[in-house]
Amino acid sequence: MSVFNRSYREYKGEIKGRFFRIWSIATQTFRVQFSGKKIIFLLILCNLPVISFTLMLIFSAIFFPAFVREFFLGGLGGVDATMYTIINFSFNPGLIFLPIVFICALNSGTIANDKKNNSLALYFSRPITRIDYAIGKALSVYMVSSFVTFVPWFVFLVTFNLLEGVSGLAIKTVIMTYLSTFASGFLIVFFMGSIVLYFSSISKQSVLGGILSILVLFLPSLVASLIAEFIEADWIQYFSIALIIVAAVFLIFGSPSTSMFGMNFFESTLSGGVAITLMITIGIIFLLMTINRLYREEVS
């Protein structure tokens, strides 16, 4: 009689739900992407604008308590105007390269590394469909990308509200600012993250996926600015990632109650509705292209 039974036996135990499987893929990938000491340096570098404003408020409140409300809180304007300016300053044409580098560098290996290490067969040997896999990987990309959007922005918002204080009349503005910040962050993360996810799926080399993602996200803005020097046409501006983001955020926040230091920064000249439609459409297209790519992928 054989000691070991090597025949196939169907698993009779409890299988977790679909959401649990997707979430497991997302969290596991997130932990892998955030492993390494270089991530901290890159994270600080890409969040310099928000970190600078946050530290400025904290140090001013500690060392110049009487001065902070008169100059900084008064100069920065209301919480809605301040947050609107912070977001747009982070994604203006000059600094947009920093968040793009962070999102592309950390997420370019999301699918590429699995293909390189032949891990796709391990995933699909379990009760996981390719759509589950794609959604899980997309969620991990959005979670990682939140560290140059949601996380630093909400830290700044909380700091600003604690120093300024919130009266009964201002509570509605504060709540709307948090909701507008969340909507802006989600839109940016979905737009950029979906593009990076696709380029991660077309190659086994994460470096190549990162380079292609950076080129697609950064070059249109550069080319649009160069063409605009010779041709005056509004449609050219829609090729600029930075200007599209500014227009989308401007519509989401509306017209802020006050301006920063008496000046109107980053007021958009583009249609916010068109900008949001473009970002959502492009994000969905690249996400569907990623799923299609995975279904065409040969797994061995």
pTM assigned to the model: 0.82
**Is the pLDDT reported for residue 284 higher than 90?**
yes
Q: How far is residue 148's CA from residue 189's CA, in Å, rounded to a whole number?
A: 9
Q: Which residue has the higher pLDDT, 296 or 198?
A: 198
pLDDT band at residue 57, thresholds of 50, 70 and 90? confident
- SS3 annotation, 236-295: HHHHCHHHHHHHHHHHHHCCCCCCECCECCCCCCCCHHHHHHHHHHHHHHHHHHHHHHHH
Q: How far is residue 250's CA from residue 210's CA, in Å, rounded to a whole number?
A: 29
**Is the pLDDT reported for residue 11 higher than 60?**
no
In 3D space, the residue among 13, 149, 20, 42 whose CA is nearest the CA of residue 106 turns out to be 42
Q: How far is residue 83's CA from residue 181's CA, in Å, rounded to a whole number?
A: 7
**pLDDT tens by residue, 138-147:** 999 999 888 8
Q: Residues 287, 292, 298, 300: is their CA dihedral positive or negative?
A: positive
Share of the chain above pLDDT 90, in %: 13
- The confidence score (pLDDT) of residue 112 equals 86
Counting every residue, how long is the chain?
300
Contacts of 135 (CB under 8 A, 6+ apart): 22
DSSP states along 135-168:
HHHHHHHHHHHGGGTHHHHHHHHHHHHHHH---T
**Is the pLDDT reported for residue 288 higher than 90?**
yes
Q: Which residue has the higher pLDDT, 177 or 137?
A: 137
**pLDDT tens by residue, 90-123:** 776 666 667 777 888 888 888 888 888 888 877 7
Contacts of 33 (CB under 8 A, 6+ apart): 106, 107, 109, 110, 140, 144
Q: How far is residue 104's CA from residue 195's CA, in Å, rounded to a whole number?
A: 9
Q: How far is residue 141's CA from residue 189's CA, in Å, rounded to a whole number?
A: 8
Q: Tokens 């958009």: give the residue.
A: 268
Axis-axis angle for helices 48-63, 38-46 (nearest 10): 80
With beta carbons less than 8 A apart as the criterion, state whether 297 and 115 touch.
Answer: yes
Produce one character per residue of 74-108: b if its CB has 16 or more CB atoms within 10 Å, e if not: eebbbbbbbbbbbbbbbbbbeebbbbbbbbbbbbb
Average pLDDT, the chain: 78
Give SS3 for 15.
coil
Contacts of 6 (CB under 8 A, 6+ apart): none
